[in-house]
Chains A and B, each alone.
Chain A
């Protein structure tokens, strides 16, 4: 599975959009981009995933660049409860084993 690179930390003002970037320059054609988050002391929580097209659900939007080498997770109206560590993970493809390999993620601090 391809490696991902994320900034270690970001701040966002409450009510504003939080844009979390992720680089995955070695992604292969059939690998998916997944986002999970972990709120303090809880288990990781699935947010969204995508292959090529942009995706949106009730939690967030995922924007994947045309060359698929990077993506951005967008929380449209961040709240204090969105403070968490956000993990960008690439997996799937021909070698899909179901594994999720967690990196260090981005710690998002939403401030009042």
Chain B
């Protein structure tokens, strides 16, 4: 298995532009997590899905951020409009299932976003 795939790996954009980050889950996994990492705040959970349904989006910073799962194996995280403070590394992770006591999350390589 190729593992969790994220694209693009690097994105540089200007303030005000729309940014779309993409994530492909590991085949057979039903849960999807989006994280953001900055020096100041560390690794933060933004939102997670189970069986394509958003379960908890309390970590999404504001309405400029939105995430979707158009199908069981793919997710997008969109920022519109982007701001310099959105600059960070964005990771997605997948796991087999929620609701079990022991489940492992597998992380992608991340997308490094720079908003100028």
Binding site for B on A (CB under 8 A): 30, 32, 38, 41-46, 49, 51, 92-93, 96-104
Q: How far is B42's CA from A102's CA once the two chains are assembled, in angstroms?
A: 8
Q: How far is B50's CA from A17's CA once the two chains are assembled, in angstroms?
A: 39
Q: Evaluate contact between A44 and B107: CB separation under 8 angstroms.
A: yes
Q: Evaluate contact between A45 and B107: CB separation under 8 angstroms.
A: yes
Q: How far is B100's CA from A93's CA once the two chains are assembled, in angstroms?
A: 9
| Residues 71-116 of B contacting A (Cβ, < 8 Å) | 91, 93, 95, 98-110
Binding site for A on B (CB under 8 A): 4, 31, 33, 42-45, 48, 50, 55-56, 91, 93, 95, 98-110
Interface of A is mostly: loop
Q: Evaluate contact between B45 and A92: CB separation under 8 angstroms.
A: no
From A44, A46, A51, B43 is in contact (CB under 8 Å) with A44
From A30, A42, A43, A101, B93 is in contact (CB under 8 Å) with A43
Q: Evaluate contact between B110 and A98: CB separation under 8 angstroms.
A: no
Q: How far is B102's CA from A96's CA once the two chains are assembled, in angstroms?
A: 9
| Chain B residue with the shortest CB-CB distance to A87 | B43
Q: How far is B39's CA from A104's CA once the two chains are assembled, in angstroms?
A: 10
Q: How far is B33's CA from A46's CA once the two chains are assembled, in angstroms?
A: 15
Q: How far is B108's CA from A97's CA once the two chains are assembled, in angstroms?
A: 20
Q: Evaluate contact between A99 and B91: CB separation under 8 angstroms.
A: no
Q: How far is B81's CA from A93's CA once the two chains are assembled, in angstroms?
A: 39
Q: Evaluate contact between A101 and B45: CB separation under 8 angstroms.
A: yes
Q: Evaluate contact between B102 and A98: CB separation under 8 angstroms.
A: no
